[in-house]
Chain A
Amino acid sequence: FPCETMGKQLTRGVNAKGRSATKSYARFKFSKKVNPKKVVEEKKESTKQPKWYAADDVARPFKSRKSHHRITKLRSTITPGTVLILLAGRFKGKRVVFLKQLESGLLLVSGPLKINGVPLRRVDQTYVIATSTKVDVAGVDVSALKDTDFAKKRVAGAKKSDGEFFKTETQKTPLPQERKDL
């Protein structure tokens, strides 16, 4: 009796059973003469034979082996309120306050803006030296901030001509007021 394993793929291009068995599975799958019970249900659906059978074996994508993605482990010396020294980037050499670690693993950090001009910013742990100085940030609520807030705003729309494309790139998105307040 033809069964599931007939159509099964061991790996791409190699079937569990040979060609004739796979063929018979295809017939089996699309035949009407399966079970009396099933036929009753199928009467309501269209009982047409499909017009097209895949000539070649249909490739199925491999199951992803990527394991559960984990956030980079935060160094024990870095806790909310720690003063960090930025080692690279636009604000290199500045000392900033660590606020929290985002879901991507990057650190959320702030000057604060009024003190040294460093805005709310994401920074990688490996580009930062943690000092032993700690600042009290109990009053700061950053739970609402996520990685997506830092994504560059894409201008949605249809295809643009070359000229238009360059124009939109030079637009500066003003810092939203809520960030300035923080």
Chain B
Amino acid sequence: LINHMSEAVAAAQKSKKIAKAGPGRQVRLWVRAKFLSFRRSKVAQNTNQTILRLEGVNDRTAASYYFGKRVAYIYKTHSGKAENRFRTIWGRISRSHGNSGAVLARFATNLPARAIGSTLRVMLFPQRG
């Protein structure tokens, strides 16, 4: 069991990439995630929960690294002052969805449907160690 656990952790570690920054390079401290869909059955959807596909995360064990991590949906508006142009809705990854590494996330306010297919940012915090 212990071996299996450490393998799982290793698998999870592999799937998170932290780019080594050369001088002056931008470092991306978040993982790209696609907003696939709201959690749904064939004819009804639950807009409280979103299904995300994280880049590079292909199985359930790797996805477990991301539980609790905060997710941001960032969007632009053209109303409001310049500081307010980019707005975010924050959420957290709550659980996995299926065996192929998809996860469920819940947001402070539900995501708008136009966000389906867009890229969200999955932060690396809170780190559970």
Interfacial residues, chain A to chain B (CB-CB below 8 A): 75-78, 85, 87-88, 92-93, 125-130
Contacts and interface: CB of A to CB of B under 8 A. Distances in A.
Contact of B29 (A75, A78, A92, A125): A92
A87 B29 contact: yes
B127 A87 contact: yes
Contact of A127 (B18, B21, B125): B125
Interface of B: 18, 21, 27, 29, 123-129
B73 to A, nearest CB: 17
A101 to B, nearest CB: 13
Nearest to B19: A93
Main secondary structure of the interface of B (DSSP, over half): loop
A126 B128 CA distance: 6
B27 A93 contact: yes
B123 A88 contact: yes
B129 A130 contact: yes
Given A76-B129, A85-B18, A126-B128, 15 more contacts: A75-B129, A78-B129, A87-B123, A87-B124, A87-B125, A87-B127, A88-B123, A92-B29, A93-B21, A126-B125, A126-B126, A126-B127, A127-B126, A129-B18, A130-B129
16 contacts: A75-B129, A85-B18, A87-B29, A87-B123, A87-B124, A87-B127, A92-B29, A93-B27, A93-B29, A125-B127, A126-B126, A126-B127, A127-B125, A129-B18, A129-B124, A129-B127
